[in-house]
Structure 1
Amino acid sequence: MPSIQVDLPLDVTAAAKRELAARVGKTYAESMQVNADLLTVSVHDLGPGGVWRCHRDGDPTPSALIMCDIRSGRPLQTRAELAQALIDTCVELFDLDRLWIKVEFTQHSGDEMYHPHLGGFNQDWTGDERR
């Protein structure tokens, strides 16, 4: 863990996906106080009409979705700051309407993600892990 999946309502070049992954990795590592080598980023460019936000009344709006699977323990404010930074990155790189970019967090204990480069399961988050 962690992993971040970004679903975009447009077609994206490999270079733009790489730039997004690099920026998300840097932002995540700084915000969540970890080394970036723990993070996996997947970018799903679903094309025009690929992601929609439904409304109570009226037609759906083109949208984007960012799913963050993280270790539990981060304060609400830390997660809010990360969410806003991820939204800002998508707005800057892809000119998306920030109002329709949704960020969801799923929190896990450390032993729910296996990292071969760590020699096994991760540990629970305890604080600043950057080394």
Structure 2
Amino acid sequence: MPSIQIDLPLTTTAATKQALAQRVGAIYGEIMQIGRDLLTVSVHDLGEGGVWRRHDAGPPTPSALIMCDIRRGRPPETRAHLAQSLIDVCVEMFELEACWVKVEFTQHAGDEMYHPHLGGFNADWNADERPATASST
């Protein structure tokens, strides 16, 4: 953790998934102010009919879902900026309708994420963090 899972209502190539992970990593590192070596991105291309959103009028609509598991402590404005930026990249890359891309956050304490390359558990997030490396996702 942090991790971002993206469920898409389409099928795409490994190269496109890698490009999406690269862009998501850059966005996350900039907005959340961390080194991208902590971020895991999973892209689930579930195919046509794989993700739906129910609404009041008419049948369910093909949709996308982005799940963000992050360390708690970021202000709502930072999370909103991240959410909109992730929506924007999905709209751009996959021609999705922005109103049907949903972002959900689950916030955790640092000791709920274990990173072997850190030698164990992560630390709680604090506002003084800055990216440690420029490595990519």
Task: Sort the TM-score into its range (normalised by shorter chain).
Answer: over 0.9
Say how many residue pairs are matched.
131
Percent identity (aligned):
70
Partner of 1:91: 91
1:103 counterpart SS class: strand
**How far apart are the structure 1 equivalents of 2:57 and 2:66?**
24
Shift of 1:129: 2.7
Offset of residue 58 of structure 1 = 1.8
Match in the other structure for 2:123: 123
Q: Distance in 1 between matches of 2:73 and 2:22?
A: 24
**Aligned counterpart, 1:107:** 107
Shift of 1:87: 0.3
TM-score (ref. length: structure 2): 0.94
CA distance in 1, matches of 2:130, 2:106: 20
Task: Give 1:20's aligned residue.
Answer: 20
Paired letter, 1:129: R
Secondary structure in 2 aligned to 1:5? strand
State the 4+ residue runs in structure 1 displaced beyond 2 angstroms: none
One-letter amino acid of the counterpart of residue 93, structure 1:
M
Unaligned 5+ runs, structure 1: none
Q: What is aligned with 2:47? A: 47
Matched residue SS, 1:105: strand
Q: Distance in 2 between matches of 1:26 and 1:41?
A: 11
* 5+ long unaligned stretches in structure 2: 133-137
Which residue does 1:32 correspond to in 2? 32
Q: Deviations over 1:9-68 (max 9, x none)?
A: 000100100000000000000000000000000000000000000012320000000000
- Give the alignment's Cα RMSD to 1 decimal: 0.7
Give the match's secondary structure for 2:69.
Answer: strand
Distance 1:84 1:99 in 2: 11
- Which amino acid in the other structure matches residue 28 of structure 1? Y
TM-score by length of 1: 0.98
The offset of 1:130, in angstroms, is 1.3
